[in-house]
Chains A and B, each alone.
Chain A
Amino acid sequence: MIPQQQSDFDHNYLKPYYGKLFPFADIFKWMTYGHDGKHPGCDQSYFGRREFSFTLKGDFYLRFQSFNNALELENSIKEKCPLKIDIGPVYTVDPAKRHAYAQGDNNVFAPVERELIFDIDMTDYDDVRYCCRGADVCLNCWPLMTIAIKVIDASLRDDFGFNHILWVYSGRRGVHCWVCDGKARRLTNEQRASIADYYRVYKGNENSHKKVSLMGAALHPFLATSYTNVLKDYFEKILLTSQNLLATEERYEKILSMIPDESIASELRGKWQDSRRSSSAKEDINVVRWEQCKQLLQSGKHKAQGLRRCVEEIVFFFTYPRLDMEVSKHMNHLLKAPFCVHPKTGRVCVPIDPNQCDDFDPTTVPTLFQLLEELNNEGSRADVNGAEWNGTSLGNAIALFRTSFLEPLQKACKEEIERSYNLKLQQSKNSVGW
């Protein structure tokens, strides 16, 4: 386990961070979704109906912050220096005026649009990683996040047809996902819950039994594809060894307890209890034992019910993504904005390219101290737009945000605005009289 380094964070340094590095213009462009007033079809009120919330020093919490334009957003953040900025939904009306609209039973203040979001946190995997616990992460367990990104990203695109997906490092021990297609933003709570449930495989907790149960004669295509394309290889080629899943008695017992057939479990136990003396040092002991385990389970000799998918169940248990269901299910759930600095680690919440997520290393993500030092060393090298991040390690993160996410999104939004504007024009031409 790599020990958590001394936190690279000091609240005083947020001021220069917000002063020179935080990409306000990009966040604003994102949040307007094309409604920047340049097209007659733009909704001028759109940005102003979005909720932001700030966590200030001393644990003060300001909800329902809203802004009319980029400058207001920027000034407020620079002035307040929030420890954390959360993004909420777009409401029917400006959140600052919500009290005027809450009339008894008929609540006219309600969320109307909100990105489909996912939050994947390493602490939910504590029962399948031995290198770290709780808030710690290292390069041995980080592949679990890589797996989650690959599985969910592929499915969001291939199964649900979403295109505008942003993955962000949460700053410490997990990843967030923002699905920003118009279709996604307009999903109801029920539809969000259905997608979260579609992704749910790991069930139960310390009170219940077997936590991955894959019934049926076949796997659903989504699970089958995930297994074949991602889970199997990561389990066999990376996690088995890096987590030493079968190397000691305590660890292999955990896997043996997932085999419903006691005779198979004891046969394996018998093989493994003595194999300390086994000669071949060439092959990793975890790999060898897994082969033995698979052979018995898939041999077809024991055709018991519940054995059919045992191998897959074990692999799923150790690898399949574990999402926080509550985050995804409700439109009004707040989520931390990208490019915030995590107060416990000092790391910036940078975007992750899903196509290169194998190369993402959470231990080399730029920190607040590092960035400010870079700024000092480079001297002032503001680019055309006054943005100083260009010469720093943050430059790559922002470039990624723009080219792989923001630009395609803006293009699509503009097209959508134009399309629906033209449609409205057409409709009003067609409707005659009453």
Chain B
Amino acid sequence: MEIVRPQSHRNLFSSNDAVSVPSLPLYRSAPPLEVRLEDFESFAIDRLRVLKGISDGLSRGKKPEEMEKLVKELWKVNMRHQHASEVLNKDIISHFVLRLVYCRTEDLRKWFLSMECALFRYRFRFLTPEAQRAVMDNFDLTCRAVNNVEFESIKEKLGQVARSMGQPSPTVDAIFYKVPFEEVPELVAGRKVFISQGYAYVAMNQVVSLVATLFRSQLSKTLILTNRKWTSSIREQEKHRLTPIVEALSSSYLGPDFSQPREYAEISLKDIDQVAKSSFPLCMRHLFDKLKEDHHLKHGGRMQLGLFLKGVGLNLEDALAFWRAEFSKKVGLEKFEKDYSYNIRHNYGKEGKRTDYTPYSCQKIISSTPGAGDQHGCPYRHFSEENLRAALSRMGVNSRAMEDVMDKVRNRHYQLACTLTFEALHGMTCDAGINHPNQYFSDSQKILQPKKDSSAQNLVTARE
């Protein structure tokens, strides 16, 4: 890809993906195109709007059908071009620019990989069957279709799998692909495929998952290579031209991740009991209460609550004191120091590879899988109805709001349920919706303590 000055405006055409058929580029290699400097930046920003929109949608817990609509809309709005023939080039160029931007740290790579894969997945769904097969050809998949003889021998098992998912047994002309099970982790995890001797038999309607995994692993590898090239040569070579643009782009659009606690939300050890009652979301309140009750939490709970506390501003020293006070009641001081304090320091980036871990978002917590003895997870999702009702009424949710909340839960809108709880308890609407426990906390504190040292005078009026 050659970057040219604005004056010389020449567009070359020779990408290795056909322009006539609406297809999905696989971004395997940078195409021999010339790009104007201003397009370099603006194309990237447009694509970033799409990726950021996807990120937002996911963290709000949007369901697949809603995400599909969202992606379609985002792509239509942001990725068009006045010359129809340029649309594909914009797609490719913007991807490659963002690769440069997002290859530079592990966190950036992780985010970019997730969003590009989600984007790829949804766009793949919109393709015509021929276009889908073209993509599959690119990944050498069509040759792995199961032949008739093999199909006959496993037909019954394939039928069992289909029926276990509430689908009809496959007909004689159904196409299945035989791939190593490593390539379809999602399908394996959900027991949605028949597996035998290390191979998974993937149905046509599951191919998205397969293609997405292959795309992901391909992109993951290339990002590492791009990073090496960036560090070893590009960054220096482009010091005065592209590098400043690249560096500016990455910091612009990521939402707050609560890794830096806000000033007014800083809490100390003596405040915890009080703010737990007033400003913790249900998930954290439950963990907190269980910790006080049992003087213990399993690993998942320690992570979820511990990182949350870090996000609300509890410093390492206070965190150690907090956990020590509880755990030592059950396991004793010595064992706490030996077995548990290391992990707390680890969470604050003071041990091991010194990653400063970020508090979990609602999306992450909702998708966790608490097992026997665990107390973490999202109560709106993981609690039975009675247990949830009991927990909510302990928090002080009135019976009318309770019904609204339970209605949301039944329809699996867990974050909306949490938002309604927030609104019921604070007497205020929360328009943005809850998508992060630390957001719940800071929004709550904003209402309950509008200024650090003010009295309660300017508390907003109740909703009813």
Taking beta carbons and an 8 Å cutoff, which residues of A are in contact with B? 59, 61, 102, 105-107, 109, 124, 127, 158-162, 183, 187, 190-191, 193-195, 197-198, 200, 202-205, 207-209, 215-224, 322, 325-326
Residues facing A in B376-431 (CB within 8 A) are: 379, 382-384, 387
- B454 in the interface (beta carbon within 8 A): no
Evaluate whether A204 and B185 lie within 8 angstroms (CB atoms) in the complex, with A106-B106, A197-B190, A217-B166 already known. Answer: no
Q: Are B299 and A326 in contact (CB under 8 A)?
A: yes
Interface presence of B375 (CB below 8 A) = yes
- Interface residues of B, count at CB 8 A: 46
Q: Do A193 and B189 have beta carbons less than 8 Å apart?
A: yes
* B182 contact from A106, A187, A200, Cβ within 8 A: A187
Within 352-392 of B, Cβ neighbours of A (below 8 Å) are at 353-354, 369-375, 379, 382-384, 387
| A102–B355 alpha-carbon span in the complex (Å) | 11
Does B327 interact with chain A (Cβ within 8 Å)?
A: no
From B106, B161, B370, A221 is in contact (CB under 8 Å) with B161
Given A59-B338, A218-B163: A204 and B382 interface contact (C-beta under 8 Å): yes
Closest 10 CB pairs of A and B: A161-B198, A194-B185, A197-B189, A218-B163, A216-B164, A209-B384, A194-B189, A105-B105, A217-B163, A161-B197
Does B194 sit within 8 A of A, measured CB to CB? yes
By the criterion CB–CB under 8 Å, are B198 and A183 in contact?
yes
Choose from B166, B194, B375 the contact partner of A216 (Cβ within 8 Å). B166
Contact with A along B89-122 (1 / 0, CB 8 A): 0000000000000001111000000000000000
Q: Is the CB of A220 within 8 A of B182?
A: no
Could you pull out 28 A-B pairs where Cβ atoms are within 8 angstroms?
A: A59-B335, A105-B104, A105-B107, A106-B106, A106-B227, A107-B106, A158-B197, A159-B196, A161-B197, A161-B199, A193-B185, A193-B189, A194-B185, A198-B195, A204-B371, A205-B371, A207-B379, A207-B387, A208-B384, A215-B166, A216-B166, A217-B164, A218-B159, A218-B164, A220-B160, A220-B164, A221-B157, A221-B161
List of B residues within 8 angstroms of A161 by Cβ = 196-199
Hey, which chain A residues are within 8 Å of B194, CB to CB? 221
Which residues of B sit under 8 angstroms from A124, Cβ to Cβ?
A: 372-373
Task: Give the distance to chain A from B351, nearest Cβ to Cβ, in Å.
Answer: 11
Is B459 part of the binding interface, using a Cβ–Cβ cutoff of 8 Å? Answer: no
Q: With A197-B189, A203-B371, A204-B370 given, can you name 10 additional A-B contacts, CB distance below 8 Å?
A: A61-B338, A106-B106, A109-B353, A161-B196, A161-B198, A193-B189, A194-B188, A198-B195, A220-B160, A221-B157
Which residues does chain B contribute within 8 Å of A162, judged by CB atoms?
198
* B227 partner residues in chain A, CB cutoff 8 A: 106
- Asked whether B165 is an interface residue with its Cβ less than 8 Å from the other chain, the reply is yes
Which residues of chain B from 280 to 306 have a CB within 8 Å of any chain A CB?
299-300
Residue B464 at the A interface, CB < 8 A? no
**CB neighbours of A109 from chain B (8 A):** 353
In the complex, which residues of chain B have a beta carbon less than 8 angstroms from the beta carbon of A61? 338
- Expressed in whole angstroms, the minimum distance between the Cβ of A110 and any Cβ of chain B is 9
Task: Say yes or no: A219 contacts B372, CB within 8 Å.
Answer: no
Closest-by-CB residue of B relative to A110 is B353
Complex-state Cα separation, A203 to B371, whole angstroms = 6
Q: Which residues of A contact B300 (CB under 8 A)?
A: 326
Q: Is B43 an interface residue (CB 8 A)?
A: no
Interchain CA distance A296-B384 in the complex, whole Å: 27
| Residue of A with least CB distance to B217 | A188
A209 CB to closest chain B CB (Å) equals 4
Q: A61 vs B340: C-alpha distance in the bound complex, in angstroms?
A: 13
Mask, B175-215, CB within 8 Å of A = 1, is: 00000011001101111001111110000000000000000
Query: Inside 8 A of B181's CB, which chain A residues have their CB?
Result: 160
Closest B residue to A186 by beta carbon equals: B182
Report if B173 contacts A (CB, 8 A).
no
Please state if A207 and B382 are interface contacts (CB–CB under 8 Å): yes
What chain A residues lie within 8 Å of B299 (beta carbons)?
Answer: 326
Residue among A102, A124, A208 facing the most chain B CB atoms (10 A cut-off): A208
**Least Cβ–Cβ distance between B403 and chain A, in angstroms:** 20
- Asked if B334 is at the interface of the complex by the 8 Å CB criterion, the answer is yes
Contact between A190 and B371, CB atoms less than 8 A apart:
no
In the assembled complex, how far is the CB of residue B301 from the closest CB belonging to chain A, in whole angstroms? 11
Chain A residues whose C-beta falls within 8 Å of the C-beta of B197 in the assembled complex: 158-159, 161
B353 pairs with A190, CB closer than 8 A: no
Q: Give the distance to chain A from B340, nearest Cβ to Cβ, in Å.
A: 12
Q: Which residues of B are found within 8 Å of A222, using beta-carbon distances?
A: 191, 195
Contacts of B353 in A (CB 8 A): 102, 107, 109
Q: A186: shortest Cβ distance to chain B, in Å?
A: 9
| Chain B residues whose CB sits within 8 angstroms of the CB of A219 once the complex forms | 160, 164
A304 to B196 CA separation, bound complex (whole angstroms): 34
A218 touches B160 (CB 8 A): yes
Alpha-carbon gap, A142 to B335, bound state (A): 30
Interchain nearest-CB distance for A258 vs B (Å) = 14
> How far is B300's CA from A59's CA once the two chains are assembled, in angstroms?
24
**Are B160 and A191 within 8 A (Cβ)?**
no
| B191 close to A220 (CB less than 8 A) | yes
Complex Cα spacing A202 to B194, Å: 20
Task: Specify which chain A residues have a CB less than 8 angstroms from the CB of B188 in the assembled complex.
Answer: 194-195, 197-198
Most buried by B among A61, A127, A160: A160
- Inter-chain contacts of A159 with B (CB < 8 A): 195-197
Minimum CB–CB distance from A92 to chain B (whole Å) comes to 13
Q: In the complex, which residues of chain B have a beta carbon less than 8 angstroms from the beta carbon of A203?
A: 369, 371
Question: How long is the Cα–Cα vector from A187 to B384 in the complex, in angstroms?
Answer: 35
Contacts of A204 in B (CB 8 A): 370-371, 382
Q: Are B185 and A208 in contact (CB under 8 A)?
A: no
CB B327 to nearest CB in A, in angstroms, measures 15
- CB-based contact B160/A224 at 8 Å: yes
Q: How far is the CA of A209 from the CA of B387 in the complex (A)?
A: 9
Query: Knowing A106-B227, A221-B157 touch, does A208 contact B369 (C-beta < 8 A)?
Result: no
CA separation between A105 and B223, bound complex, in Å?
14
Residues of A within 8 A of B335 (CB): 59
Contact flag A158-B196 (CB < 8 Å), given A107-B106, A207-B387: yes
Cβ of B161 and Cβ of A220 under 8 Å apart? yes
Contact with A along B139-162 (1 / 0, CB 8 A): 000000000000000000101110
Cβ–Cβ contact A194 & B186, under 8 A: yes
Q: How far is the CB of B225 from chain A (nearest CB, A)?
A: 13
Q: How far is the CA of A205 from the CA of B104 in the complex (A)?
A: 41
**How far apart sit A51 and B300, CA to CA, in the bound complex (Å)?**
25
